[in-house]
Amino acid sequence: MQWINWLSFYLWIAPHLLLAVVAVLLWKRRLHIKFPVFVVYVWYEIAEFIVLFTISETGPHHQVWYFRVFLVTLAISVALRFGVIQEIFNNMFQEHGKLDSLARISLRWTTGFLLLGAVLIPIFAYGQTSNNLIADLAWLGRGVAIIQCGLVLFLLVFSRLYGLSVQSYMFGIALGFGILSSVELANWAMRAGGLSDSTARALNLLTTGGYHIAVLIWLGYLFAPASVIVQPRGVHVGELHHWNTELERFLQ
């Protein structure tokens, strides 16, 4: 199964190379001012990849170390993703005073319900008890994926409901995280069921593939154009003021 090895190698390396392009684009467009946490996330993911790749390639005897570093970096990565979602939320609603407070309250309730759902559904629906580290990790990962999916869905649906201005790149960042979280939900759910080594390796393709798609979405939306309008050309500012004054006089 040479091709699986090649494919998994490609899916591990390629998204991180593309992430470097995303990082450069973010810097060039000065989006690090508006999205500092996302920029940190992108650089962090690149650094994490370098560390894990180095440990993996130095020899099979480093497997324990690899797993430990993987766990720590995964925890930080998850925390950063929550930070990015909060950042998108702040950028989306900052200009709309009344809607901002409504959105904050709704987001708090949504988070509460998602947290409750992530904890209670597995306990009451299946009476599942975990008995090893991988199963615990899968249980936790699945819960986190549910919460992240729900939050991204909330952001996209809420902004659509109120017709908010969501710039292409902001929508792209949220969409990328949404797709990534739904892939991770499927991944952790399957891992919680217990897998053989070969199936677990095959499942890695799903996560790395999902990550690749998310990076491509970020990259695509960074290049996507904004909405344009058929607007009057050649109207001077003075003329505009004149018309405004006339209209205000007319409306009085």
Residues engaged in binding other proteins (CB under 8 A): 95-96, 98-99, 102, 122, 125-126, 128, 142, 145-146, 149, 152-153, 156-157, 160-165, 168, 171, 175, 178-179, 181-183, 185-186, 188-190, 192-193, 224-235, 237, 239-241, 243-244, 246-247, 251
How near is the Cβ of 156 to other proteins at its closest, in Å? Answer: 5
What tokens appear for 147 in the block?
A: 């919460």
Q: Closer to other proteins by CB, 136 or 246: give it.
A: 246
In the complex, least distance from residue 198 CB atom to other proteins, rounded to whole angstroms:
17
Closer of 48 and 145 to other proteins (Cβ): 145
Nearer to other proteins, 73 or 168 (CB): 168
Amino acid identity at 90: N
Closest CA to 174 of 239, 92, 250, 231: 92
Enclosing H/E stretch for 245: helix 237-251
Contact partners, residue 65, CB within 8 Å, separation at least 6: 55
Closest distance of CB 166 from other proteins, Å:
8
First-to-last CA distance in the chain? 79
State the minimum distance, in angstroms, from the CB of residue 43 to other proteins.
25
Gap between the Cα atoms of 147 and 144, Å rounded: 5
Q: Which is nearer to other proteins, 64 or 230 (CB)?
A: 230
| Cβ neighbours around 88 below 10 Å, total | 24
Q: How far is the CB of 100 from other proteins (least distance, A)?
A: 10
Residues in Cβ contact with 93 at an 8 Å cutoff, skipping those fewer than 6 apart: 99, 100, 103, 104, 164
> Which residue's CB is nearer to other proteins, number 49 or number 89?
89
According to DSSP, residue 233 is labeled -
